Structure 1
Amino acid sequence: MQKEVDITIIGGGPAGLSASISSAERGKSILILERNEELGGVLNQCIHPGFGVIYFKEELTGPEYAYRFIKEMEKYPNIEVWLETMVVDITEDKKITAINRDGIWEIKTKAIIFSTGCRERTRGNLQIPGTRPAGIYTAGTAQRLVNIEGYLPGEKILILGSGDIGLIMARRLKWEGAEVIGVVEKLPYPGGLTRNLVQCLEDYNIPLYLKHTVVEILGKDRVEGVYIAPVDDNENPIIEDKKFIECDTLLLSTGLIPENDLLENINIPLDPRTQGPYVDQYLYTLKEGIFSCGNSLLVNDLVDYVTLQGILAGKSAVSYINNEINMEKRVHIQIDGNLRLVVPQYLSFPILEDITFYFRVKEPQKSAILTLKDKDKRIKEWRFPVVKPAEMIVIKVKPEFLRDIENPKFFMEG
């Protein structure tokens, strides 16, 4: 079976929802392909408040945030949604093969927006030694079990990794009556937002063990306990100092990985620093007519940033179809100093509008100065009292600072 449409959006989470509205209000026909039974993505299991503070200027739960966009979509008859639809192949000329209950579809489209989100690192990614008992979950899986399925994953729980999902689940499990022994973090600083450290750990007296990691899991049928050990400055466990912690459940909150297997199949280059595709200020990848946004582009702190990227990707896809994106040249953006990543990684000229840049730093730093340079010439500076790896830096740069730039470079110094 065949289908033709202007723009195909792969993924119906917050990035895909906002991208669909942004494209549809500009008159294009839109098809959203979502593999789950409902739109909204991971928002549906995030029943805690804190979403929408930037975009809606109020605190919403995850389902409330998603619902606002789903209701808005109903105003646009040119948006079509296919649920329980799996994309299995994409060709370089933008032909999509998808499977759902109706059968196998070949979809011809003028532009593709990837909004496929991200996945959690599993025990296999971490390669933790020990037995293979029940009771080992990613934090996101535990969140779904508790908030949607209504199951408590365990009674005596240790969390490995201080990512935001793990911190939020520490509080959630405490509410449900579980004993949360603590959160173990390999790095010398926490991996989650400050507000989650305060609201989820400090407010509930849940200990955080920095510079520690799990070195062995024990248990036959069910987890019976783990050994944790401190790590040295090279993050190597000091095994002789390991200690046993009794628990029946281990949650893993050790980072997220953008879902980009389909991009790799059509040879779209990925940035090893973000594990998402290289893009310019239009969120245009290095393959014609293909755009990326949200957590498949880079792992974001806030859903508000995901939404804003989706809006931009939708607008850019329409501009591409209308031949309104004029690329006279494209230059690579360099980073140095304490910067770990930047998005976008390219500038396409001419530059006509403000450009939003997203950064993460390598190490915590006080009195930080972010500088935009062209060769050795300083163009503009931004000052921050504190920067942290867990908290994204977001800035807007006006066109006049970028129009004549030849070798753009961002540098973070103290």
Structure 2
Amino acid sequence: MKYDVVIIGGGPAGLGAAIEAKRTGAKKVIILERDRELGGILNQCIHNGFGLHEFKEELTGPEYASRFIDMVKEFNIEYMLNTMVLSIDENRNIVALGERGLIDISARAIVLAMGCIERSRGAIDVPGYRGAGIYTAGAAQRFMNMEGYMVGKRVVIYGSGDIGLIMARRLTLEGAKVEAVVERNPFSSGLNRNIVQCLNDYNIPLLLSHCISYVHGRDRVNGVTISKLDENMDIIHESSKFIECDTLLLSVGLIPENELSREVNINLDNTTRGPVVNSSMETNIEGIFACGNVVHVHDLVDFVTKESRIAGRNAAIYALGENKDKSYVKTKGGNGISYIVPQYIDTNSNENIDLFMRVRNIYENKKLIIRCGEKIILEKSRLHMIPSEMENIKLSPHILKKINGDIEICVEGA
């Protein structure tokens, strides 16, 4: 089986990339999806808040996905469901297992769009028993919203990631009592709007600088012990208290899913844990592109779609043999910047290039400064910046022409 562009993953990133590849002129495009339907994580996100940037209206996750699924069908883009990609190589040969059995596919270009996975209890090493009633927030969301299974009646949520915050509201609306959301850091890892709409509106306490120091219940969770943390993240033992509950949800972060990327020797960023990409969303392996949460965890699905268009378009251009000369320089995060994507940008580009980044701490009334050597290329004032909300700087072709070497971005005064 030979294709111009093969998309691995049928979530929002994969759908957007496939459509854009087809629009750009790739004739044979296929999506490989391991689940039973297209849409990815959006299928279980029945709350609204999606599409404000993309469609200028509020949609639920399934509504957002359905618009792109309809476009996939309009463009007659092939897709295989219940199909797991087992391996890819540097020559863009793919081995997959699906309803047709073992499949060999040859691709002129590949787009990786596998999304991300949740950190588990093992990854955070919570002491105590491992009884029933412990779920990741995403698993609980799928159980409730897609399978119709109520996970518990008295719930504590560990971590303030967006899925955990949204599940606090969802559980409350279904009649459960959410005792608290416990967060190790002095700031939430979720969006401010979710703190307001999902916690404050329902009087659910958010306990910052706290940890769960023990999980009780041999057969089923019957409570947790929470403790305050000092500035060194050490437990203040005299602050410990017991909270009775029958369910513990873990919302302690997401990790890009990159088993396939490692197998093909794609360079991964130590901070994002996703592929290192250039402004075409191409990895260090020629003809293999990546986009969405497999590159870095986004806070809005609209930005995933925006990024996927870049990957899909450039994958099609590569497959059609229409590449142009590019001049790449490296982007580096300085003081106050956790990471920047893309890690390399083309200074010859005739289009705007968006740089996405996250800051390390909470900053008020600061500037984002872009330097090339000692020269300041651009500066942007920001009233408020927090780690949970991604920052975006747009570089126009006019600005790109001023860059003659690697650039560094930092928070002024961090």
TM range (shorter): over 0.9
- What is the rounded CA distance, in whole Å, between the counterparts of 2:378 and 2:393 in structure 1? 12
- What is the rounded CA distance, in whole Å, between the counterparts of 1:408 and 1:325 in structure 2? 24
CA contact (8 A) 2:348 2:400 kept: no
2:18 to 17, 20, 25: 20
Counterpart code for 1:44: N
1:269-291: CA deviation from partner (whole Å, max 9, x where unpaired): 10011111111111111110011
Counterpart code for 1:70: I
Counterpart code for 1:155: K
CA contact (8 A) 1:51 1:59 kept: yes
CA contact (8 A) 1:20 1:314 kept: yes
- What is the rounded CA distance, in whole Å, between the counterparts of 2:273 and 2:325 in structure 1? 25
In the TM superposition, what is the alpha-carbon distance from 1:151 to its structure 2 partner?
A: 1.0
Match of 1:43 in 2: 42
SS, match of residue 333 in structure 1: strand
Match of 2:336 in 1: 338
Match of 2:304 in 1: 306
RMSD: 1.1
SS, match of residue 308 in structure 1: helix
CA contact (8 A) 2:347 2:400 kept: no
Matched, 1:207 2:243: no
CA contact (8 A) 1:327 1:349 kept: no
Match of 1:289 in 2: 287
Matched, 1:408 2:407: yes
SS, match of residue 293 in structure 2: helix
Structure 2: which 5+ residue stretches go unaligned? none
Match of 1:229 in 2: 227
Matched, 1:62 2:57: no
Counterpart code for 1:4: K
CA contact (8 A) 2:256 2:296 kept: yes
Match of 2:138 in 1: 140
- What is the rounded CA distance, in whole Å, between the counterparts of 1:328 and 1:140 in structure 2? 40
SS, match of residue 74 in structure 2: coil
Counterpart code for 1:314: G
Alignment of 1:10-409 (within 5 A): 10-28=8-26, 29-77=28-76, 79-405=77-403, 406-409=405-408
CA contact (8 A) 1:114 1:290 kept: yes
CA contact (8 A) 2:326 2:349 kept: no
- What is the rounded CA distance, in whole Å, between the counterparts of 1:153 and 1:239 in structure 2? 31
- What is the rounded CA distance, in whole Å, between the counterparts of 1:326 and 1:188 in structure 2? 47
CA contact (8 A) 1:372 1:410 kept: yes
CA contact (8 A) 1:327 1:348 kept: no
- What is the rounded CA distance, in whole Å, between the counterparts of 2:402 and 2:349 in structure 1? 9
- What is the rounded CA distance, in whole Å, between the counterparts of 1:10 and 1:407 in structure 2? 32
CA contact (8 A) 1:156 1:179 kept: yes
In the TM superposition, what is the alpha-carbon distance from 1:404 to its structure 2 partner?
A: 4.3
Q: How many residues get paired?
A: 411
In the TM superposition, what is the alpha-carbon distance from 1:352 to its structure 2 partner?
A: 2.2
SS, match of residue 25 in structure 2: coil
In the TM superposition, what is the alpha-carbon distance from 1:350 to its structure 2 partner?
A: 2.4
- What is the rounded CA distance, in whole Å, between the counterparts of 1:20 and 1:86 in structure 2? 18
CA contact (8 A) 1:89 1:97 kept: yes
In the TM superposition, what is the alpha-carbon distance from 1:351 to its structure 2 partner?
A: 2.3
- What is the rounded CA distance, in whole Å, between the counterparts of 2:268 and 2:238 in structure 1? 40
In the TM superposition, what is the alpha-carbon distance from 1:132 to its structure 2 partner?
A: 1.1
The verdict on how the C-alpha distance between 1:215 and 1:57 changes in structure 2, with shifts beyond 3 A counting, is: same
**Bigger CA drift: 389-398 or 199-208?**
389-398
In the TM superposition, what is the alpha-carbon distance from 1:362 to its structure 2 partner?
A: 0.2
Instruction: State TM-score, norm by structure 2.
Output: 0.97
CA contact (8 A) 2:328 2:346 kept: yes
Counterpart code for 1:137: Y
In the TM superposition, what is the alpha-carbon distance from 1:73 to its structure 2 partner?
A: 1.3
User: Taking every aligned residue pair, what percent have the same amino acid on both sides?
Assistant: 49
1:172-216: CA deviation from partner (whole Å, max 9, x where unpaired): 000000010010000001111111000000000000000001111
SS, match of residue 257 in structure 1: strand
The verdict on how the C-alpha distance between 1:135 and 1:102 changes in structure 2, with shifts beyond 3 A counting, is: same
SS, match of residue 78 in structure 2: strand
CA contact (8 A) 1:47 1:62 kept: yes
Match of 2:6 in 1: 8
CA contact (8 A) 1:326 1:349 kept: no
1:240-277: CA deviation from partner (whole Å, max 9, x where unpaired): 43211111000000100000110001111100111111
The verdict on how the C-alpha distance between 1:328 and 1:310 changes in structure 2, with shifts beyond 3 A counting, is: closer
SS, match of residue 376 in structure 2: strand
Instruction: State TM-score, norm by structure 1.
Output: 0.97
4+ aligned runs moved over 4 Å, structure 1: none
CA contact (8 A) 1:326 1:350 kept: no
- What is the rounded CA distance, in whole Å, between the counterparts of 2:274 and 2:295 in structure 1? 5
SS, match of residue 332 in structure 1: strand
